[in-house]
Amino acid sequence: MKNFAIAYNKNIKHSSDVMSELKSALELHNVNTEVLDIDNLKDGFDFVFVIGGDGTILKAARFYAKSSTPIFGVNSGRLGFLSQCSSGDIKTPVEKILKGDYRVEERIMLQSEDRLALNDFVVKGSSTGRTSKFSLKINDKLVCDYLADGIIITTPTGSTAYGLSAGGPVISPLLNAFVIVPICPHTLTARPIVIPDNEKVTIAAGNPDFHYVASTDGQEFYEFKSEINIRKSDFTAKLALLDGVEFYSVLKDKLHWGTSPANL
């Protein structure tokens, strides 16, 4: 690898300090690195370090998926579920990456027209504080109608995010599947559903007089009035992962699975 970059979120506290520390660690190995603001990303790199929280990593993942560039997350936010190391441990990961002691895991993404999402698409009514009507179609066939606060279509990567909070299952990122999770549905029979990732999901507006809002990874928002089609993208996010860091250990460490509430 020749061209490295560091993308960081200057709006996150201490991220500038972490960026300087990371840049110095790379320079110790005679690696020249370009520093980028997360709001002004550009292509042309073989590997990109991303400093920030999960939101910062999601934004970088969507951008660099189109150039198949691996990204490595350094957490300077809160949970940091997608990151591989914390801001207090930079030198060891840098040495491992420069030695090639890591793997690149491809994560499936969602797409609607030209919009990408690594975690999820969320569809809601534009009127806050009230429920909306939605129709769910899979492969153009009606599945059911919902009266709910919204609907989440999530990837396995995003199953530990909003979908989990809304009552959806945790899905291994190695599975080729999507999860459809209704948000606060007004019926006890509405449950999350897991479907193969080669199926097309359509969310149709239940009330043509209302505007509906869709979001990608909770970061990009746009309105629609009729329906939105969501499918697996041809692009995949390339996440650089350190050897020995497994999905299930991350569940335990980040979500405190199997830990007594008294010990949290």
Residues involved in catalysis: 54
Residue with tokens 């359509």: 202
Q: Are 203 and 180 in contact (CB under 8 A)?
A: no
CA separation for the pair 113, 259 (Å, rounded): 42
Structure tokens at 247: 């999905």
Q: How far is CA 207 from the centre of its chain?
A: 30
Residue with tokens 């490595």: 72
